[in-house]
Structure 1
Amino acid sequence: MSTDKKVCLGVVAGAHGVRGQVRVKFFTEAPDGVAAYGPVETKDGSRSFGIVFKGVAKGLALCALEGVTDRDEAEALRGTELYVSRERLPEPDEDEDGWYYADLVGLAVIGVDGTRYGRVAAIQNFGAGDLLEISPEGGGATVLMPFTAENAPEVDIEGGKIVIDPPIGTFGDEEGGDEEEEAADE
């Protein structure tokens, strides 16, 4: 499973009880989705776990991971992301977004004006919303841009691209600098 595209279903938030159950922040539509697609594995593929959904507590899924039998083992997994192969997931509903974030990685990022910005390196979420991480054409540091319908009006999986209308300043294209300088001069 570690060689194909993977989708993160959740992340272990800590232990629950003394028998090795874990609390999982789930990224699936429903809490039980974290265990709906069979065994999960770590991001690097070094560990795999059978997973059983046990319930919900304080907005987190409670799960039993195969081979994890006590609180210390469960607590040691805190922060571990749980992945499944993209192939195991159902095809997305075309009436809605119609794709998984894993499907976006590697797509070309093109401006509404035709400017080639680079490729999608990842989709990040640090708590305030999803961000497109864009690896620029010609190299350099990646650029983060809010992944909203306004900033990314078109996602074309079959065409291999995302069309963006980046906010001013996203790629160092600051406009309005003269206005700021004029305001400072006054």
Structure 2
Amino acid sequence: MTDSRRRVLLGRIVGAFGVRGEVKLDSFTEPKAAIFRYQPWTLRDAQGRERALDGARGRDTPKGVVAKMPEVSDRDAAEALRGTEVWVARSALPPPKPGEYYWIDLEGLRVVNTEGVEFGRVSHLFSTGVNDVVVVQGDRERMIPFAMPDYVVSIDFDSQLIVVDWDPEF
């Protein structure tokens, strides 16, 4: 997928907040209220239907992030959005800091170990709470802890390559 079409999941609507059409958001940004910096949003409901939304504003409260969205004016309309995902174009995000990576930028990169054994390509990443894990699809699926420099030795976006210190039999 081209950079202009790649999107990043930044949050999820978890319910209504009050009676004036505000929604409570589970924001995946840090800080949580930074989700409002990255717009327009693409809202995707549980059935996979999508719509663009621009102009959401909100605030961080002791009960979580609260958003006010155009055209959502009452509690029923807000509650109907429960479970809706908030996506933004990858291009809307700032460049990562040195040594940091957006997971979406790693997806699709080739993975080889330090001996040159080809493992396949990055399918996706997930967090275990202790560390992140790179899932590589090739001759078989491998799950490699995303720990630099212990297991992930280098990442080269120009050559679309990740080098890992990982036993090919593991």
1:96 aligns with 2:99: yes
Aligned-partner Cα distance in 1 for 2:3–2:116: 35
Deviation at 1:45, TM superposition (A): 6.8
DSSP-derived class of the 2:152 partner:
coil
Deviation at 1:118, TM superposition (A): 0.8
Give CA-to-partner distance per residue, 1:28-51, whole Å, 9 cap, x none.
222222111222113557222224
Residues 53 and 61 of structure 1 are in contact (CA less than 8 Å); yes or no, is this contact kept in structure 2? no
Structure 2 unmatched runs, 5+ = none
Aligned twin of 1:178: none
Letter of the 1:119 partner, please give it: R
The number of aligned residues is 165
Letter of the 1:57 partner, please give it: T
Larger-Rg structure: 1
Task: Name the TM-score, length of structure 2 as normaliser.
Answer: 0.78
Residues 39 and 54 of structure 2 are in contact (CA less than 8 Å); yes or no, is this contact kept in structure 1? yes
Deviation at 1:107, TM superposition (A): 0.4
Task: Name the TM-score, length of structure 1 as normaliser.
Answer: 0.73
1:54 aligns with 2:39: no
Aligned twin of 2:147: 148
Aligned twin of 2:115: 113
Structure 1 unmatched runs, 5+ = 175-186
Deviation at 1:83, TM superposition (A): 1.1
Residues 110 and 161 of structure 1 are in contact (CA less than 8 Å); yes or no, is this contact kept in structure 2? yes
**Structure 1 pair 12/130, CA: closer, same or farther in 2 (3 Å)?**
farther
Aligned twin of 2:23: 22
Structure having greater relative contact order (Cα 8 Å, sep ≥ 6): 2
1:160 aligns with 2:160: yes
Letter of the 1:148 partner, please give it: A
Aligned-partner Cα distance in 1 for 2:89–2:27: 16
- Aligned pairs (5 A) from 1:29-68: 29-42=30-43, 46-58=50-62, 60-68=64-72
Aligned-partner Cα distance in 2 for 1:91–1:54: 24
Aligned-partner Cα distance in 2 for 1:129–1:78: 29
Aligned-partner Cα distance in 1 for 2:105–2:86: 17
- Aligned pairs (5 A) from 1:118-133: 118-125=120-127, 127=129, 129-133=131-135
Residues 40 and 49 of structure 1 are in contact (CA less than 8 Å); yes or no, is this contact kept in structure 2? yes
Letter of the 1:9 partner, please give it: L
Aligned twin of 1:72: 76
In proportion to residue count, which structure has more strand? 2
